[in-house]
Structure 1
Amino acid sequence: MAAAILAATLWGGWPFRLVWIAVAGLAAYEWVSMVGREHAIAGGFAVAAAGLAVGLSPLSDPALAGGSAAAALAGAVATPFLRGRLGLELCGVAYALAFALVVPALRAQPELGLSIVLWSFAVVWFTDIAAYFTGRRFGGPKLLPAVSPKKTWSGAIGGMLAGSIGGYAVWALSPEASRAFGPGLAIAGSAAASVASQAGDLFESALKRRFGAKDSGSLIPGHGGFLDRLDGYWAVLVFAGLVLFIAHS
């Protein structure tokens, strides 16, 4: 999956949009399936249709990235307070919109689009890998044991430091990004995105606990579901979409 997404990222255009529209549809399907399978397929198709429809509009408009990110965040924030199945399903559809709309909008940004998406990948990958190995090596106090018993503060800090390095590396290797802003902002933004990534991971863990699910799905053999693999990336997308909108306001 990672290789296909990376290839589509480098290609850009409609191949990139279609990959993420498909991912969004599958993510919505998984979320709605955890709530109740009755509307799972409809939820997936709704997100995919929204992605296709909006894909015909000017994706480079920062308002699209910001609005979609805000809708996705609102869906996530509302989830703990809802009890009705329909409301929870709609939150899942809003959550998945980040994949269908925010990623293509980021990629479509003039000059910086490719760098932004590669930066987001680097932050999440460096964070995940370092958090796992740092946590195993140093252990220590648990981060949020009621939600994710294995995560530690040492892993979280190690992940943030590595995510900052990964994001900075993309900035340093991108002439466009290096011209747009300085190293301090690159490091600070990467650190904040790394924290967001870990928060997204914890949110999805809490979601699965609420619905009694071990994995979000079984669409990726041996790795669970799409939400299991992209929970941290979702949070980075929301962060990047909102920052992009605020920066252009």
Structure 2
Amino acid sequence: MKDQEGRGTSIYARLWPFGPDLLPRLLSAIVLIPLTAVALVAGWIPFALLIALVMAGAYREWETMITGQQARWPAAFFMGLIALVAIAHPMNGAWASAVVFGVAVVAALLIKAPNRHWRIGGLAFFGLSTIAFLAIRGSSGVGIWAGVFLVSIVWMTDIGAYFVGRIVGGTKLSPEVSPSKTWSGAAGGLCAGTLSGIAVWFLAGWVLDTPSPFAIGLLISVVISISGQLGDLAESAVKRRFAIKDSGDIIPGHGGLMDRIDSLTVAGIVLWCIGLANRGLGAVPQGILFW
């Protein structure tokens, strides 16, 4: 009987290699993609409010993971500060976000708690991610294209890695960290993400009438795609360290907010650094797209 069940499972896996999580992935995409698009187009402040909500929620999951308890004091305090980091940026500039961010880190240093170094690390990571997202969006129309450039690379990398990895399979990428990821999936994700990035790069250059060299767009797309995949692996390693499968259950059958933004946060920080290095603090979107 067990042999028959095993053969039936094997046949099903060959006919449908995508597993039971494809539907939750599609449903989450149906919600997240329009929501992100609307927030990007609506303006800097609506985008900041969305980032404040998402990053505060993600930090709540972080606190629950590192402490093994449902978020309470001082987690709620730090969630509020993370949200303020986002809201302060369009209201009073990057310096205001930096001040709030500094207060959060100092408070984490002073408040004694188990795994305090993990709390400090989480605040530093989510705080920097928040600042990066707001700087990439900026207050101009260029920021819309910079945001689309980022999310298109990351999401297409994730989609390409998922489908190619499930269909082709092969050698595991890092079985001790994430048993389901394969080298074929990583390559498929890199190709899909890079192609998507190049498409947005040329489209943005045409719409904004500021075409930039193909080689730079290609290089940035590759770097961001790889960064996103490394972010995914890093979160998997942290979850394995704390012996949990999902960071939360906000998306039934598909995990929490951290599970959805792990690639985006790391890629966002890297893209922010690129824009910062090219054009400076006040022109990050231009520093990403104009060369």
TM-score range, shorter chain: 0.7 to 0.9
Partner of 2:179: 149
* AA aligned opposite 1:163: G
Contact 1:43/1:89 (CA < 8 Å) preserved in 2?
no
- Using the alignment, how far apart are the partners of 2:90 and 2:117 within structure 1? 26
Partner of 1:240: 271
1:9 to 40, 43, 48: 40
**Cα pair distance change 1:99/1:5, threshold 3 Å:** farther
Contact 1:129/1:159 (CA < 8 Å) preserved in 2?
yes
- Give the unaligned 5+ runs of structure 1: 76-82
Report the count of equivalent residues.
233
**Cα pair distance change 1:49/1:64, threshold 3 Å:** closer
**What SS does the aligned partner of 2:180 have?**
strand
**Cα pair distance change 1:177/1:198, threshold 3 Å:** farther
Could you say which structure has the larger radius of gyration? 2
Contact 1:111/1:176 (CA < 8 Å) preserved in 2?
no
- Using the alignment, how far apart are the partners of 2:78 and 2:243 within structure 1? 20
Partner of 1:51: 86
Does residue 133 in structure 1 map to residue 163 in structure 2? yes
Contact 2:43/2:139 (CA < 8 Å) preserved in 1?
no
1:122 to 129, 152, 155: 152
CA RMSD of superposed structures (Å): 2.5
**More deviation, 161-170/50-59:** 50-59
Q: TM-score, normalised by structure 2?
A: 0.73
Partner of 1:80: none
- Using the alignment, how far apart are the partners of 1:216 and 1:225 within structure 2? 5
**What SS does the aligned partner of 1:150 have?**
strand
Alpha-carbon deviation of 1:244? Answer: 1.0
Alpha-carbon deviation of 1:48? Answer: 1.1
1:109-163 per-residue CA deviation (whole Å, 9 max, x = no partner) reads 6452111100111101110111111112221211111100111111101110110
Q: TM-score, normalised by structure 1?
A: 0.85
**What SS does the aligned partner of 2:210 have?**
helix
Does residue 25 in structure 1 map to residue 60 in structure 2? no
* AA aligned opposite 2:221: S
Q: Which runs of 4+ in 1 moved over 4 A?
A: none
Contact 2:88/2:96 (CA < 8 Å) preserved in 1?
no
- Using the alignment, how far apart are the partners of 2:270 and 2:143 within structure 1? 15
- Give the unaligned 5+ runs of structure 2: 1-30, 106-112, 281-291
Contact 2:86/2:134 (CA < 8 Å) preserved in 1?
no
Does residue 208 in structure 1 map to residue 239 in structure 2? yes
- Using the alignment, how far apart are the partners of 2:83 and 2:173 within structure 1? 35
- Using the alignment, how far apart are the partners of 2:51 and 2:148 within structure 1? 15
**Cα pair distance change 1:219/1:40, threshold 3 Å:** farther
2:76 to 36, 41, 47: 41
